[in-house]
Structure 1
Amino acid sequence: MVARKNMTLRLPAEQADELEAVARAEGISVSDAVREAIAEHIERKRKDKAFRDRLRAVMERDREILERLGR
């Protein structure tokens, strides 16, 4: 079984209505529609060089902080 983590998502009413309509039209649950959208978003970020550069910078800053804390 895949480990799951519960999360709360707050959407404007209009966006929530549209999401529910999309899910119904696709014959899937709202949760599945959200998971699909998130997976697509993450995949686009993985392919985005500017994002990867920003991610590396954040990781380096975090590494420096963790090293200071570990002293």
Structure 2
Amino acid sequence: MPKSMTLRLTDEQAAELEAIARVENVPIAEEVRIALAEHIASRRRDRAFQTRLKASIKRNQEILDRLAST
């Protein structure tokens, strides 16, 4: 199910995004989705990010385990 979000851009970012969407003949929202998909794919390939992600998962799991224990 789609989720609506508010995004704050500088005037320059907004103008460039609008121009790209116009040239590509797609809605601005579609250009944002494309950019986000590319960014997420980049993070999945980024070893340093993956290392930080695994550390975050471990920390959060430890907290959840403590909360779940009675």
Matched, 1:34 2:32: yes
Q: Which amino acid aligns with 1:36?
A: I
Percentage of matched positions with identical amino acids: 52
With the length of structure 1 as denominator, give the TM-score of the two structures: 0.94
Q: Distance in 2 between matches of 1:17 and 1:4?
A: 25
Ranges in structure 1 where 5+ consecutive residues have no aligned partner? none
Which residue in the other structure is 2:44 paired with? 46
Cα RMSD (Å)? 0.6
Map of 1:68 onto structure 2: 66
The count of aligned residue pairs is 69
Structure 2 stretches of 5 or more lacking a match?
A: none
One-letter code aligned to 2:35 = A
SS of equivalent to 2:41:
helix
TM-score (norm 2): 0.95
1:36 is paired with a residue whose SS is helix
Q: Distance in 1 between matches of 2:54 and 2:12?
A: 36
